[in-house]
Amino acid sequence: MSDRSVLAVNGGSSSLKCGLFTASDSPEPLETFNLPIDSDEPNALVACLQSVLTQISAEHGAQSLIAIGHRVVHGGDNYDGPVMVGARVMKRLEDFVSLAPLHQPANLELIRYCERACPGVPQVACFDTAFHRGMPAVARSYALPRELTDAGVHAYGFHGLSYEYVWEQLQAPDARAADKRIIIAHLGAGASLCAIKDGRSIATTMGFSTADGLPMATRTGSIDPGVLVHLMREHAMQVEDLERLIYRDGGLKGMSGISGSLVELRASSCPQALEAIDYFVYRVVREIGSLTAALEGLDMLVFTGGIGANDPSIRQQVTDRLRWLGDDLDVCAVPANEEAMIAAHTLRVLNGEKPANQEGG
């Protein structure tokens, strides 16, 4: 094959998704890879990526890739758009590992592996936080002393690549989407909601970390900070214990005592399974109400993500509890495709298009 291509690498909390795209002004998909991950260790993702690169080399040639784009969950205040990866960038991104322990270590390890496996091929980091950089200050702030806010303790927001892709899909057939008040529900192993007005993120349920907001497969979502203080004092929990509870042992898995998978919970006759599903739906509906207030109304609700786009039962349970919003609410589902967004961003960087407010190197 003579055509050059771009590989998009999307390492998530439960899977590795990759997409091979044409290196054209409008990237077209050539091949997709979706590999479930049984372990939360970065090496499990690396092994899957190794098999993807081996297959690409065999089918398309070792020299076909002109760049590799990576989903990186946290870009902090340093980056408001994609950036070519260098030593300085990697060093900065390592500072955010504690804010996204399920994702950031794996994201960075995938970049390191690609640098070794494909020497000389440019690596581009595309950030989940970038889409939310324009949120109003009131939506980014916590009621903390100013010096902590100035030190970076504020809401960042995540799932931005997914929200950006869905927003572009909504605009394509309907230019009037820009005038609508929209909530996008990215529901999967990781879950969040985003309120969009005038094409911009104005509020989102994930904040300082990827553990905030909705309950997820293994993440608690929002929790009274007093609970954590109590667990430290009365249950002798240390920082590492709390981190594991919040990111790996909480959520639907912790609440049910069975699994973080909605499919497995539905198949169970255990009452705790039903309680976990009900709690998930309750929190989604409650947070939609909160974001509707931030938008001062709601015109469109869009579901995406593994659950949002593929689980009509959850969508129905949510919309049944939103009848108070009226009959005019437009509801739809859009399959997630973060890989397409990563490929597009990667090509823009290769073509020299860089956002104004970003530190490179």
Annotated catalytic residues are: 128
Q: Helix (H, G, I), strand (E, B), or coil: what is residue 60?
A: helix
Q: How distant, in Å, are the alpha carbons of 77, 176, 311 from that of 45? A: 27, 40, 26
Q: Which residues of 115-154 are buried (b: 16+ CB within 10 A; e: fewer)?
A: beebeeebbbbbbbbbbbbebeeebbeeeeeeeeeeeeeb
Q: What is the DSSP letter of 131?
A: G
Task: Return the residue matching tokens 């055509």.
Answer: 3
Q: How distant, in Å, are the alpha carbons of 83, 127, 148, 208, 329 from that of 130? A: 11, 5, 21, 13, 28
CA-CA distance, 97 to 273, in Å (whole number)?
A: 32
CA distance between the termini of the chain: 33
CA-CA distance, 76 to 257, in Å (whole number)?
A: 34
64, 5 Cβ separation under 8 angstroms: yes
CA-CA distance, 293 to 286, in Å (whole number)?
A: 11
Task: Return the residue matching tokens 């739906």.
Answer: 281
82, 345 Cβ separation under 8 angstroms: yes
171, 178 Cβ separation under 8 angstroms: yes
E strand residue ranges, 102-231 = 123-127, 182-187, 191-197, 200-204
